[in-house]
Amino acid sequence: MDKRPVLFIDSGLGSLPYGNFFHSRNRHEELICIGDCANFPYGTKSRETLIALLDSLTEKIISAYDPKILALVCNTASVTALDFLREKYADLPIVGTVPAIKPAVLASKTRKLGLIGSERTVEDPYIAKLAAAYGPDCEIILVAAPELIEFAQYRYGNSAAAERLAAVSPYVDELRSSGVDSIVLGCTHFLLLHEDFKAAAGKDIGVYDSVEGVTRRLESILDEEDGKLRSQTRHEQIVPVIAVTGGEKPESYWDDLARRSGFSLQRFL
């Protein structure tokens, strides 16, 4: 029995959709989501800067929480720092987030896909490698959307449906005009807007994310060696935690989002 937590890292609210989905299937596992608001956004930072700050954050997280698995539920963090962190913290299983290009390729009829994410994610060579591996016959239209990431981080909690639809529609319209029939959400913040993307896309364009794939990978690690890392406390009520970095109290909408998701809100560092 291993009651140490499974820990998720994102630059802000992007950890919540992943934490929610994981918790819905693994309610007996301790879960902590880190919203690294002190360093938001990740996507505009240099590779060297991002690796250094994630290295420092990981050291502090290990010291504070002693996680049994760490998940980088951030595409930018994964394409930039995953290999470095796995090498340095070799005793800690670390799961990255990969844009859901494979299922989008399998579903595409036009052989044109759209991927929307941060500047660093869409510019990273890793995305081209994924595209070549899963869809060598496909054209992938890459769109950087830093303003939409800012919207998801700062406006989502207080926004109405019409405002969210208005925020995502220009990006969907741009990709539709390019002939895509699949859109990959390449930033975890955009999972907060998944239903809004689907509403803007309509029936002719599929919308894909990586939340289920990340959870399945975490579960496969937990189940290795006859479930050695599983908590086994299946009758205990676990309240997941979201911990926000930064010197000030989190904005008020964090309380509402945490409560709606069944999370306990804390400040970390």
Residues known to be catalytic: 74, 187
Q: What distance in Å separates the CA atoms of residue 56 and residue 188, rounded to the nearest whole number?
A: 21
Cα–Cα distances (Å) from 240 to 9, 22, 118, in that order, read: 14, 10, 28
Domain 6-97+212-268 has CATH 3.90.1150.10: no
Note the CATH number of domain 101-209: 3.40.50.1860
Farthest-apart Cα atoms in the chain, separation = 53
User: Given this chain, do its domains 6-97+212-268 and 101-209 carry the same CATH topology?
Assistant: yes
Question: CA-to-CA distance for 258 and 117, rounded, in angstroms?
Answer: 24
Q: Summarize pLDDT for 211-267 with one digit per residue, the tens.
A: 999 999 999 999 999 999 998 766 667 899 999 998 666 777 888 888 888 999 988
- Domain spans of the chain, in order of start: 6-97+212-268, 101-209
Q: Digits of tens for pLDDT over the chain (269 positions)?
A: 899 999 999 999 999 999 999 999 999 999 999 999 999 999 999 999 999 999 999 999 999 999 999 999 999 999 999 999 999 999 999 999 989 999 999 999 999 999 999 998 998 888 888 888 998 999 999 999 999 999 999 999 889 999 999 999 999 999 999 999 999 999 999 999 999 999 999 999 999 999 999 999 999 999 999 999 998 766 667 899 999 998 666 777 888 888 888 999 988 87
**C-alpha pair distances (Å), 76 with each of 6, 51, 72, 125, 174:** 20, 11, 9, 12, 22
